[in-house]
Amino acid sequence: MRNTMYGAVGFTALALALFGTSGQAAAQESPNGSTASRAPSFHVNIPAAPSTKEVLQGTYINSGVAGIAVPANTFTPIDNLLTVVCPGTTGTCSIQADMLVQNGFAFTSGNSNRVCLYVDGVPAPFCNYLADETLADGGFENSTSFDIVRGLRPGNHTVQTIFYSVNGANVSHHHSNFKVFKP
pTM strictly above 0.75: no
Domain ranges of the chain: 1-32, 55-182
- Per mean pLDDT, which range of 18-22, 33-37, 97-101, 144-148 is the poorest? 18-22
| CATH of the domain spanning 55-182 | 2.60.120.760
Mean pLDDT over all residues of the chain? 85
Instruction: Provide the CA 176 distance to its chain's centre, in angstroms.
Output: 14
Mean pLDDT of 125-129: 91
Question: 16-29: per-residue pLDDT in tens?
Answer: 444 554 444 444 45
Contact 60, 161 (CB under 8 A): no
Task: Tell me what pLDDT residue 35 has.
Answer: 60
pLDDT at residue 30 tops 70: no
Q: Say which residues have a Cβ less than 8 Å from residue 99's Cβ, sequence separation at least 6.
A: 115, 117, 144, 145, 146, 147, 161, 174, 175, 176, 177
Contact 62, 173 (CB under 8 A): no
